[in-house]
Amino acid sequence: MKNMRFFMWRHALGLFLVFAILSFIPVLSQEPPSKLVSTDWLEKNLSKENLRIIDVRGSIQDYWQGHIPQAVYFNPEAMRLADGGVPVKLTPSEALAIMLGKMGVNEKTMVMVYAEQGDFKAPYLIWALDYLGHSSAAILDGGFTKWQKEGRPVTQDYPKINPVRYTLPSKLNQEVRATLEEVKELVSGGGGVLFDVRPAQMYTGEKGFWKRNGHIKGAINHFWGEDLKDDGTWKSKEDLKAAYEKLGATLDKLIIVSCGQGQMSAHAYFTLKHVLGYPKVKNYDGGFNEWSNIDGLPVDTGLGESSPGGEVTTSDGEKLLKEHCTACHSLDRVDKAKKDKAGWEKTVNQMIGNGAKLNDAERQAVIDYLSSR
């Protein structure tokens, strides 16, 4: 009798362990393989519990016309608010927590974010979640554009969501957000790398909307869009690492990324922090929006640190074209082509993708030359 009870107890314990392991497997499968996931992974995991898909495309009309099943729409402008007179900075954490809760997201929810192809709004939300200490979040590589082109499921139905409470941590993650004082310290004392990831013409001051155009003194220009392939997916880690290392980014340095208002720089933040694994990366969401409006803070124009070979102008574009374009096209073919500036920009990006060695300023010079003919 004693042996029988022991056998039954051991059998019950074995069954309990089996069921416990089986019930744990779906939980494990909910976690994405990385912060950047494929369309294939998301389609296979659409029905997983505790997964919230968030659509942050720029227009609600795009969402109405079609979105990924179970995706909830989040107006990207709701993530930003005036702060101390500065027009747009990250919305206060308390407000973010309320909005996340309304979308059915609590601090343990796995969040999957997507926007249009090659856009910076999804990385901005990931950065905001990092600031809240919410690590279980990822971006759909290639965005909705890639998802739709591949013929994956699309719906016009709204998800059924029960609001929940999002509990903020006792301390926000200041290691991912740069303040004005931190940028001042880096500019005056060094000790790190400051990237300005806006287009070259905004960096040089040729274009802009601010009280003073140009860039923060000492900032190095690296256009955020250069981190992506033509289809809007991220380039290989090897290519990205080589590009950033060429500009002085190393694992031991503090890296602060900036742009006009923290959105483009959130894209570079995501690339450096989550794709490449750099440990000390901060997004300055005050950006040039804040810096340029404070009299006395140094602003430079021209190419600054981005091109050690001196200023590159439109007139240099023809020479650069002859040096770099003949590898994949004849110049006669280029001369006969009729395109607008957007078309030439795509062509030059393809040249770079095929191996043309152009920095951001040289790239812009070639585009300007081709567009001006």
The set of catalytic residues is 259
* Identity of residue 15: L
Beta strands 86-90; 80-83: pairing state: antiparallel
Q: How far apart are CA 82 and CA 240, in angstroms?
A: 33
Which residues pair with residue 255 across a beta bridge?
A: 193, 281
Count of beta carbons in the 10 Å neighbourhood of residue 111: 20
The answer to whether 207 and 292 have CB atoms below 8 angstroms apart is no
Residue of 134, 139, 123, 70 whose CA lies nearest to 97: 134
Q: What is the DSSP string of 1-67?
A: -HHHHHHHHHHHHHHHHHHHHHHHHHHHHHS-SSSEE-HHHHHHTTT-TTEEEEE--S-HHHHHH-B
| Structure tokens belonging to residue 332 | 């006669």
Task: Give the contacts of 353 (CB within 8 A, at least 6 positions apart).
Answer: 229, 230
The answer to whether 278 and 249 have CB atoms below 8 angstroms apart is yes
* Exposure of 60 in the CB half-sphere (CA atoms within 13 A): 6
Cα 175 to chain centroid, rounded: 17
Q: How far apart are CA 360 and CA 52, in angstroms?
A: 37
Q: How far apart are CA 258 and CA 116, in angstroms?
A: 22
